[in-house]
Structure 1
């Protein structure tokens, strides 16, 4: 992804809007286990970080929840410390669960719409001549899937709202050398030509920050193939063109964390 922001000049709220940069804080949810065996609960951390998966800024949300294998949406109560949020979800049913931050609104930053893209402005910067300035709000959604027993599909159903990925292969059946397939949706419609970054864990010890940079096809689909066991994160942003009559803009970010096994 192209970094269109000056990370050093922007506050955290603007950095979250500009997470295409390897230096910007990026959201994730990480469970203590993906394959739960017979465990009746799972513990999940939520944070923003510059190095996956090392928590740095606690990810706060009013809509932490779990979608159960039976389709029930149950609220989760987070515990916050400075670097991360922690939630626990009961997993007494057999099947796949989706733990989510829910839709969370972040800070609002000033940005100008210039040549079909956003130019974010530091507090003392001026917009290019003739460009309209908007208040652009960050909207973040992070998901992770865990399974007790045999993987199931009900929790994979898309919300058809905002930016999200619809899994075309099961997130908890990912093996080294096999493809993980997703469809990128915005308001329920596929996004073609959409840039997605895939990261692996242990970034601190690697010069290669992104494991893969991919672009969705005409059907809004992308895939990647893990080359070793470990935890991976797929993430992207979507910044729709602003409505001409509105002073508001929105920057959507989405991430999903997966585990590849041998």
Structure 2
């Protein structure tokens, strides 16, 4: 009996260990470098969805809605785009000095309804709702707006591409995202549709968790003006992410979920 109880406990622990990572899939962009010097440099970016940050083991991140902006805010070209089994990649030529922004934005509608007593679910990208059959009941709609960003600087950091668009959840960088150092504080803010996003929780996760027994993550929260501060414990790549829900969807009778995610490199002092 004692052995059977012990085996049951071990089985439950194993099931929990397997289930936990499945809930922790994170989307990310990872540049080969964030600060470069010299003329005519290139950067390669990996894009994936995984349990362990910056490790390719789940699915690639699709690049259909990838946008690259040069230091003056004009569109720049993403070259050599490729999507494989576990990751997507692309290259960007840094032909102008200053800070570049690379972003993947996605907008989709998730919904469910009952028809003749049977539960139906659907997902549509681009923010358009598919036709719901007559007689459907218990219709529920959710509009998701997601933004993933990275910043890469050639030479001296510049500010132009840091401007927000006024749509969805976005980061306002009071501290330049390519000027982060271990042991120092960085000051940011979150805005939702251009307005301060108050009381929003931001998850901060250092990369390399595959080789640590603990995730090493921590959370901070925005104040009434949407501002927050992060003190970086160590150098390395960090994944930061936040999300909010409200009733300001552009689709009738839908709830909105807006999310923001960025990969930031923190340098040694």
Flag whether TM exceeds 0.5 (same fold): yes
Unpaired segments ≥5 residues, structure 1: 1-7, 9-20, 112-120, 124-131
Q: CA deviation at 1:186?
A: 0.7
- For residue 54 of structure 1, give the secondary structure of its aligned residue in structure 2: coil
Cα deviation code 1:185-229 (max 9, x no counterpart) = 110011010011001011122343252211101110111111111
Q: CA deviation at 1:109?
A: 4.5
Whether the 8 Å contact between 2:153 and 2:178 is mirrored in structure 1 is yes
Q: Which residue does the alignment assign to 1:13?
A: none
Q: Which residue does the alignment assign to 1:140?
A: 146
Q: Could you say which structure has the greater relative contact order, defined with CA pairs below 8 angstroms and 6 or more residues apart? A: 1
The reply to whether residue 235 of structure 1 matches residue 241 of structure 2 is yes
Give the number of equivalent residue pairs. 226
Whether the 8 Å contact between 1:61 and 1:104 is mirrored in structure 2 is no
CA distance in 2, matches of 1:92, 1:205: 36
The reply to whether residue 51 of structure 1 matches residue 52 of structure 2 is yes
Cα deviation code 1:26-52 (max 9, x no counterpart) = 211110011122252211111112211
- Greater CA drift, 136-145 or 234-243: 234-243
Q: Which residue does the alignment assign to 2:212?
A: 206
Whether the 8 Å contact between 2:109 and 2:141 is mirrored in structure 1 is no
Structure 1 residues 196 and 45 mapped into 2: Cα distance closer, same or farther (>3 Å)?
A: same
The reply to whether residue 95 of structure 1 matches residue 98 of structure 2 is yes
Q: CA deviation at 1:247?
A: 3.5
After TM superposition, the score normalised by the length of structure 1 is 0.77
| Cα-Cα RMSD | 2.7
The reply to whether residue 256 of structure 1 matches residue 256 of structure 2 is no
- For residue 169 of structure 1, give the secondary structure of its aligned residue in structure 2: coil
Whether the 8 Å contact between 1:110 and 1:136 is mirrored in structure 2 is no
Which 4+ runs in 1 deviate beyond 4 A? none
- For residue 233 of structure 1, give the secondary structure of its aligned residue in structure 2: strand
Whether the 8 Å contact between 2:204 and 2:240 is mirrored in structure 1 is yes
Higher helix share: 2
Q: Which residue does the alignment assign to 1:150?
A: 156
CA distance in 2, matches of 1:167, 1:133: 39
Structure 1 residues 95 and 110 mapped into 2: Cα distance closer, same or farther (>3 Å)?
A: same
Unpaired segments ≥5 residues, structure 2: 1-14, 16-20, 114-118, 122-137
Q: CA deviation at 1:107?
A: 6.3
Higher strand share: 2
Q: CA deviation at 1:180?
A: 1.7
Q: How does 1:60-139 map to 2 (within 5 A)?
A: 60-76=62-78, 78-101=81-104, 103-106=105-108, 108-110=110-112, 133-139=139-145
